[in-house]
């Protein structure tokens, strides 16, 4: 991913030197387990550990140089270790195959990336909850099909988002557990030259579980689940961003992204303040969905393995994790700085001259004994006059003879009680914020 959409903390996971460091970690973990089993000399593995060192950009460049000749990345890496360590390095990679190193290393990196992303989800959710509590009782109009429906509160909109991010977190936690599996079972996964006990010991020291039954690779349904969970989290952020984009429209203007001193909205129109952060999140979410599709395409491989998945994962593993990490932190900042306009929300709520209270009137007529369809027609007849003639809904209803026969003036007035329709907001907040495991987040 380009630096513009990368945070250093996540990008650092995907540098060549970090990748080679994890390869060495896998080789040493396997070597120690083999030494304990008597397959290789313990002293040789200790020497490899002492001389292996910390990989630098210069070391990565040297491995890349060797690979120009070997045309094989793991062989180039092992050749480099022989240069650096000496004869003891020959005991590394005993009975192993390249995918033992590659798949186990990738599991470690994706697991660690998941930890950073989980932190980002928590930060975004905390920002949403703060603003939701701030605007718990700020009335605004709810919309369906883009048309005014019934009143809600701005905090209610946001607490729905907080609940959605909780599900995103749960999915990623499960995907983290799914991806944290490695293999050190050799060519085609049969332990022909190793043992399951060696694999278990090595992987345990790396914080991984063994793939219960592997071929030459860890099966790619695990990776597909992981990248799908990232895409779903991104889709949620796009959902939130789309709402903000609509609320910032000039005709609506109920909320607005932060606009900093010196910021410019247009090279041609000095008045512009555009929802560029939300639009950016929308675009990046599209990338995540593409990465998820690519991961699913990787599930079907030939026989015990081929490497058609390899080129895909070299791109999508860093790009998908870096992208979602960036999105979460950008979204948290957007929510923290979001400008909210309660007065404009009330203006919009009242813009249809009372139409948004049509359902309470309908239900009151039904309670008074009118057939539902007849009541619907009476209310709709008056509502259409509001749309077509610009008249006041409550006044029209009060003058309607059929309604006068059934409803007292006070009963009709009660149908237009804004806060009555919002009386359950506290209960809904409690359901979200007091759910098991939510209080500490």
**How many CB atoms sit inside 10 A of residue 370's CB?**
21
CATH architecture of 355-415: Orthogonal Bundle (1.10)
Comparison of pLDDT for 138 and 3, the residue scoring more = 138
> Does the structural domain 97-259+270-351+435-441 have CATH classification 1.20.200.10?
yes
Q: What is the pLDDT of residue 73?
A: 94
According to CATH, where is 1.20.200.10 located in the chain?
97-259+270-351+435-441
pLDDT at 156 over 50: yes
Please write the tens of the pLDDT for every residue from 227-265.
999 999 999 999 999 999 999 999 999 999 998 888 888
What is the C-alpha separation between 317 and 312, in angstroms, rounded? 8
Q: Is the four-CA dihedral 269, 270, 275, 277 of positive or negative sign?
A: positive
Cβ pair 6, 326 in contact under 8 A: yes
Q: What is the pLDDT of residue 102?
A: 97
Please write the tens of the pLDDT for every residue from 371-423.
999 999 999 999 999 999 999 999 999 999 999 999 999 999 999 999 999 99
Q: What is the pLDDT of residue 185?
A: 96
Prediction pTM value? 0.94
Characterise 371 by phi-psi region: left (phi > 0), alpha (psi -120 to 50), beta (else): beta
Please write the tens of the pLDDT for every residue from 348-366.
999 999 999 999 999 999 9
Q: What is the pLDDT of residue 90?
A: 96
Helix or strand holding residue 340 (H, E): strand 339-340
Cβ pair 20, 55 in contact under 8 A: yes
Q: What positions carry a catalytic annotation?
A: 145, 266
What is 366-432 written as a DSSP string? HHTT--HHHHHHHHHHHHHHHHHH---HHHHHHH-HHHHTT--HHHHHHTT-TGGGGTTHHHHHHHH
CA nearest neighbour of 188 among 149, 223, 215:
215
Tracing tokens 């309908």 back to the chain, one arrives at 362
| Joined tokens for residue 403 | 């309604």
Calculate ∠ Cα 269-347-258, nearest 5°: 40
According to CATH, where is 1.10.40.30 located in the chain?
355-415
Q: What is the pLDDT of residue 440?
A: 46
What is the rounded average pLDDT of the residues 290-316? 94
Cβ pair 256, 273 in contact under 8 A: yes
Please write the tens of the pLDDT for every residue from 176-215.
999 999 999 999 999 999 999 999 999 999 999 999 999 9
Beta strands in 48-165 (DSSP E): 139-144, 147-153
According to CATH, where is 1.10.275.10 located in the chain?
1-94
Helix or strand holding residue 172 (H, E): helix 154-179
pLDDT at 267 over 90: no
Please write the tens of the pLDDT for every residue from 35-53.
999 999 999 999 999 999 9
Q: At 438, is the pLDDT very low, low, confident or very high (cuts 50, 70, 90)?
A: low
Helix or strand holding residue 289 (H, E): helix 276-297
Residue 256: beta bridge partners? 339
Residue 141: beta bridge partners? 151
CATH architecture of 1-94: Orthogonal Bundle (1.10)
């Amino acid at each position: 991913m380009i630096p513009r959409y990368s945070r250093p903390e996540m990008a650092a996971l995907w540098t060549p030197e970090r990748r080679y460091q994890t390869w060495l970690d896998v080789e040493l973990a396997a070597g120690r387990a083999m030494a304990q089993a008597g397959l290789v000399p313990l002293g040789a593995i200790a020497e490899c550990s002492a001389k292996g060192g910390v990989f630098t950009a210069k070391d990565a460049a040297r491995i890349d140089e060797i690979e120009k000749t070997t045309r094989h990345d793991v062989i180039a890496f092992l050749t480099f270790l022989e240069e650096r360590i000496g004869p003891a390095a020959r005991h590394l990679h005993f009975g192993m195959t390249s995918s033992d190193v590659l798949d186990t290393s990738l599991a470690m990196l994706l697991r660690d990336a998941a930890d950073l992303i989980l932190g980002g989800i928590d930060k975004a959710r905390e920002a949403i909850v703060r603003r939701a509590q701030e605007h718990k009782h700020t009335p605004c109009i709810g919309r369906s099909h883009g048309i005014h429906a019934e009143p809600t509160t701005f905090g209610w909109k946001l607490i729905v988002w907080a609940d959605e991010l909780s599900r995103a977190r749960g999915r990623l936690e499960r995907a983290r557990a799914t991806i944290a599996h490695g293999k050190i079972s050799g060519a085609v996964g049969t332990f022909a030259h190793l043992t399951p006990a060696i694999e278990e010991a090595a992987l345990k020291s790396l914080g991984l579980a063994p793939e219960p039954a592997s071929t030459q690779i860890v099966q790619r349904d695990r990776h597909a689940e992981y990248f799908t969970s990232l895409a779903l989290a991104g889709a949620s952020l796009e959902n939130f961003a789309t709402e903000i984009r609509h609320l910032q429209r000039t005709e609506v203007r109920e909320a607005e992204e932060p606009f900093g001193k010196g910021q410019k909205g247009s090279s041609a129109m000095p008045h512009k303040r555009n929802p560029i952060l939300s639009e950016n999140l929308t675009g990046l979410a599209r990338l995540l969905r593409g990465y998820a599709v690519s991961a699913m395409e990787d599930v079907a491989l030939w026989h015990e393995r081929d490497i058609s998945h390899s080129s895909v994962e070299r791109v999508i593993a860093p790009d998908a994790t870096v992208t979602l990490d960036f999105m979460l932190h950008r979204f948290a900042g957007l929510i923290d700085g979001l400008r909210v306009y309660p007065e404009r929300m009330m203006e919009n709520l009242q813009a249809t001259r009372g139409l948004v209270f049509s359902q309470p009137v309908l239900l009151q007529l039904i309670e008074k004994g009118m057939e539902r369809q007849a009541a619907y027609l009476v209310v709709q007849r008056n509502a259409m006059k509001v749309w077509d003639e610009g008249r006041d809904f409550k006044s029209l209803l009060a003058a309607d003879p059929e309604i006068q026969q059934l409803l007292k003036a006070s009963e009709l007035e009660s149908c237009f009680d804004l806060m009555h329709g919002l009386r359950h907001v506290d209960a809904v907040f409690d359901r979200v914020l007091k759910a098991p495991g939510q209080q500490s987040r």
